[in-house]
Amino acid sequence: MDSRAMTAQSPLNLGVLVSGEGSNLQAILDAVSAGTLNARVKVVISNRPGAKALERARAAGVSALTVPHKDFASREAFDAALVSALREADVNWIVLAGFMRVLTPQFLDAYPGRVINIHPSLLPAFPGVDAAKQALDYGVKLTGCTVHFVDHGVDSGRIIAQRAVPIEPADDLSSLAARIHGVEHELFVNVLRAIAAGRVLPFEG
């Protein structure tokens, strides 16, 4: 048996990076506390002070840190501080759940093939910010969400899973974003379950 698969049955030790609302984080915390996801959220780190995600982490009894990117002279210095906090928390997978910073190669090298992100479109369509707005503006009738490994590009890493979300004629940004969010919560937790079960292995590019 693949040695990585053998170890995959222990709980995942997750470090979750956030910048805002944290509804995806909440879905993960809820699945962990319901016993339906074999994982522990060891630490939640926000680059934005006051992010609601931090409150959600603390309410679940999870260590919640703020590492403001503005306090650092370079992206490398910021990422080094993140890696240091993540190592301290002894995590083995990094989950980007609405984290609005691009990670440096130095960060990715610290957790090779073990950083995943969720994005609110069917990548490779509509990468970057405002993906739901991009989809509405373009007039596509179907969008969705994607969980992918993080590589050196923006929303460009190997895709793990996707779900489609229809765009209805009456949709505005708020109704579409809400529909995508609901699907994201299920997809993200399902991918983490697959990782915990050894059905998705660290990406070897």
Interface residues with ligand GRF (CB under 6 A) are 20-25, 97-98, 118-120, 181, 184
Closest contact distance (angstroms) between CB of 166 and ligand GRF is 17
How many whole angstroms separate alpha carbon 132 and alpha carbon 85? 32
Is residue 152 part of the annotated active site? The answer reads no
Q: Which segments within 98-197 are labelled E, that is strand?
A: 115-119, 142-149, 159-166
How many whole angstroms separate alpha carbon 126 and alpha carbon 190? 23
Q: Are 40 and 11 in contact (CB under 8 A)?
A: yes
By beta-carbon proximity to ligand GRF, the closer residue of 21 and 30 is: 21
- 164-173 long-range contacts (CB < 8 A, ≥24 apart) are 164/122, 166/141, 166/142, 167/135, 167/136, 167/140, 167/141, 167/142, 167/143, 171/136, 172/136, 173/132, 173/133, 173/136
DSSP state of 69: G
- Phi, psi dihedral angles at 175 (to 5 degrees): -70, -40
By beta-carbon proximity to ligand GRF, the closer residue of 8 and 41 is: 41
By beta-carbon proximity to ligand GRF, the closer residue of 8 and 16 is: 16
Closest contact distance (angstroms) between CB of 141 and ligand GRF is 20
By beta-carbon proximity to ligand GRF, the closer residue of 111 and 188 is: 188
Q: Which of 69, 119, 181, 185 is catalytic?
A: 119
By beta-carbon proximity to ligand GRF, the closer residue of 48 and 114 is: 48
Closest contact distance (angstroms) between CB of 2 and ligand GRF is 30
30-49 CB burial, b ≥16 within 10 A, e <16: ebbeeeebbbebbbbbbbbe
Closest contact distance (angstroms) between CB of 10 and ligand GRF is 26
Q: Which residue is nearest to ligand GRF (CB)?
A: 98
Closest contact distance (angstroms) between CB of 126 and ligand GRF is 11
The single-letter code of the amino acid at 10 is S
What residues are annotated to the active site? 119
